[in-house]
Amino acid sequence: MKIKLLINGLSKLILGFLLITALLFLPAGTCYYIQAWVFLALMFVPMIIMGTWLYIFHPKLLSKRLNNNEKEQQQKNVVALSGMMFIAGFVLCGLDYRFAWSSIPLWITIVASIFFLIGYVIYIEVMHENAYLSRTIEVQEGQQLIDTGLYGIVRHPMYTATISMFISIPLILGSLWSMIIFGVYPILIVLRINSEEKLLAMELKGYIDYQKRVKWRLLPFVW
């Protein structure tokens, strides 16, 4: 079982790295795209560390995180749109670098990198707090409501983390124009949350009361 999980995890890691590398460096027309190398390090070094930790100590959770087979058509559409967004966004970043459409100061890239890492830290903490975390929208057998830690502040801290990470990507890669494409991501997350909360309210015991106690979905005092 763990060997199969290892092969699945490594194959997705390698394919993801190769795909993102191709989407960035081919449009850029060069391997000397320094911002791209910085982004790849920020993205994949923590991912390898986190994946190793999950594989050793929480293999069931890792298996859930590797499963992205959505059951509902609406969520399949959201996942497909997200994939198209990332492809278009990375390609535009590479083209932006090649033709020098944007000029972003170094300090902005540094700040964006910090926000990306903050998002990663939140992401890791959410996985530590919630053993039921899955990439697909579902209520698992025996699932219990988590309302402590970050879940006591916002109802969907995982999405808060990913928004912080993905909105930072264009600035790390030095592309203002790709902000337009990556800006679609929060909209897709809002659509996903609306669908997810309907399911949770119907199938997860105590979720309706939880919604009353924790009013904010993504950001305190915002939404």
Domains of the chain: 2-213 (1.20.120.1630)
Report whether pLDDT(197) > 60.
yes
Helices of type H across the chain: 2-28, 34-57, 59-66, 73-99, 106-129, 157-172, 178-182, 184-203, 207-213
pLDDT in tens, 37-90: 999 999 999 999 888 888 888 787 777 677 666 566 666 777 788 889 999 999
Residue 85 CB contacts under 8 Å (≥ 6 apart), including other chains: 181, 182, 184, 185, 188
pLDDT in tens, 151-169: 999 999 989 999 999 999 9
Helices of type H across 100-153: 106-129
